[in-house]
Amino acid sequence: MVEKLAERARERLLARNGVSARFFPAEAHRLAGACRRMAERFLAGGRLLAFGRGPYATDAQHVSVEFIHPVIVGKRALPALDLSIAFGPWLEAILRPEDIVLGFGPPEGDPEVAAALAVARTRGAQTFALPGEDADYAVAAPSPDPFIHQEMVEVLYHTLWETVHVFFEHRQLPGHDVGELTALYPFLGAQQVDLGQVVPEVAASIVAKAREDERLRAEVARDQAELMAAAAVAVADRLRRGGKLICFGNGGSATDANDLAIDCILPPPGLRPVQAVSLSLEPANLTAIANDVGQEVMFLRQLIPHARPEDVAIGISTSGSSKNVIIALEEARKRGLLTVGLLGYDGGEIVRRGLADFALIVRCDYIPRIQEVQASIYHVLRELIDEALNGQG
């Protein structure tokens, strides 16, 4: 079974590269222009407001944290909010004309998201329909496959925050009085550059980012397909025994943990629901533990009452060295749980200390690219687990 599942893992990882190679060259120039307009709105006091439903709410979480807490040292925080919990009323209450509104949904679209975007557009906001037809930036679904569609959209919104900062740094924004914003962006007000030169450069950069993802997916397909297949068989065995997946991670990895858990309990058509929880989807618990005890035990304190020996602990860490993920995996091993690490760089301390029974590593040192390929890994793993449960392969 492992051999056949490994072949399926390779096929599915490489299938994503075909979609990527078609989608991003076609969209790059339009995306670059949209990012320029986003930069202008941020400088005018606008905010990024994002929302979606089900697994697509985790995309809103992810894009929000990328703008508020950028992973590149020296980049400034930009105002962003995830409104998914009640996006219609929330937009009605707080929307301003200078805002930027992103609506996420499945490949076939979401009528409620589309309706909210239409309201935002009539009120002057810059709108992104991901996917959709009626927005300032509307894009058809890159793929009818929900997992592949979501992965391509993640690459797209990662390029948004990366590219907005490029326009800031090129000191464009002709005609803007930056005023007090010079405290946040000291380079503003310097000599402007020709945006006609910047936009093509940015578009080429977007395509280059997608190509790097394609290279990394191919590398995972070549080197780790058998490990993914073996992990799927081991996880399926735990699920048959009544176990559940316990997922956790920080920041963008928290949203990935949330997405994986939702993909388990609310899967696309054709996959069976399986038991899963995300410790990252508990803001009251996380903030209480971090405030009263310390952030290093945020996941440990939750794991202890939830964990059973038949469970699977899935720790997501782009560095492989997040202390609170390490501590939780240590406890999981003590309690007999199967442990899986979704990691970046060289696997970090989690690999060096042997804390993951299965360590799936994106060998890259740039966090957005790691996260984008990790999404492909856990989506394919989710499909392989279903096939293993069904006895296929």
Q: Looking at the structure, tell me whether residues 254 and 340 fall in a common domain.
A: yes
Q: What is the rounded distance in angstroms from the CA atom of residue 364 to the CA atom of residue 250? A: 18
Q: How open is the CA angle 215-221-223, to the nearest 5 degrees?
A: 100
Residue closest to 37 by CA, chosen among 156, 195, 184: 195
Q: Looking at the structure, tell me whether residues 186 and 203 fall in a common domain.
A: yes
What mean pLDDT is predicted for residues 378-390?
Answer: 97
CATH number of the domain bearing residue 255 = 3.40.50.10490
pLDDT of 392 reads 62
Q: Is residue 315 part of a domain?
A: yes
Note the pLDDT tens digit of each residue in 147-187: 999 999 999 999 998 888 888 776 544 444 434 334 433 43
Neighbouring CB atoms inside 10 A of 366's CB total: 17
Q: Which residues of 373-386 are buried (b: 16+ CB within 10 A; e: fewer)?
A: bbbbbbbbbbbbbb
Q: Where are the beta strands (DSSP E) in 207-327?
A: 245-249, 276-278, 312-317
Of the residues 180, 209, 238, the one at which a domain ends: 209
Of the residues 209, 229, 248, the one at which a domain ends: 209
Q: What is the rounded distance in angstroms from the CA atom of residue 187 to the CA atom of residue 325? A: 38
Most confident of 28-42, 157-171, 210-224: 210-224
Q: Is residue 350 part of a domain?
A: yes
What domain count does the chain have?
2
pTM score of the predicted model: 0.93
pLDDT of 175 reads 45
Note the pLDDT tens digit of each residue in 227-279: 999 999 999 999 999 999 999 999 999 999 999 999 999 999 999 999 999 99
Q: Looking at the structure, tell me whether residues 218 and 270 fall in a common domain.
A: yes
Contacts of 293 (CB under 8 A, 6+ apart): 301
Q: Is residue 16 part of a domain?
A: no
Percent of the chain whose pLDDT exceeds 70: 92
Q: How open is the CA angle 63-64-67, to the nearest 5 degrees?
A: 85
Helices (H) and strands (E) in the chain, counts: 12, 10
Residue closest to 158 by CA, chosen among 80, 210, 105, 84: 210
Name the residue range of residue 332's domain: 214-389
